[in-house]
Structures are given as C-alpha cells and as structure tokens.
Amino acid sequence: MLLDEDTRKRLKRGDRVRYAAVPISIAVVVFLLSVGGASVFPPGPFMSYWIGSMIGVALGLMKLADVAMAFRAQFADLTR
C-alpha cells in the first residue's frame, strides 16, 4: 500500500511537470517568432516546424525537470 502511494505521487508529479512544460514550450516558440519573425523557422507545410519545435522544447523541459528534480521515493526500502 505504501508503494502504491509512491507510485501515485510519481505519476502526479509527472503530470504537473508535463502541464508546466507544454505552455512554456509554446511561449518559447511564440517568443522566437515574435522576435525574429518567421525567418527563425523555415517555411513548412502546416507550420510543422513550429509544432515540432514546441514538442522538442517540451520534451527537453520534461527531461531537464526529471534530472534536476529527481523523484525520491519515501518508501524505497520496502518491497512487494
């Protein structure tokens, strides 16, 4: 039961990181578009470079958050 609590906390933390990374990535890409204009990203069909850049920044932020703030289980010494 305590291991389930750790699992729930880990999943909840992952959701919070994801919910924060997506708007930040959108803001970064919109900022790059507003500062440098559309020349920052080469033209592509259906803004594919913009969407790809947003996905890349979001994945990078999630990975950075996982490394910088590693999840520490409270009940790691217990086994099933």
- For the chain, which residues make up each domain, given as ranges? 2-68
Q: Which of 1-10, 24-33, 70-79 has the lowest mean pLDDT?
A: 70-79
Count Cα atoms within 13 angstroms, Cβ side, for 60. Answer: 10
Would the pTM count as exceeding 0.75? no
pLDDT at position 42 is: 66
Longest dimension (CA), the chain: 55
How far is it, in rounded angstroms, from Cα 72 to Cα 35?
40
For 10-23, what is the mean pLDDT? Answer: 85
pLDDT at position 73 is: 66
How far is it, in rounded angstroms, from Cα 54 to Cα 58?
6
Position 78 confidence tier, pLDDT thresholds 50, 70, 90? low
pLDDT at position 45 is: 74
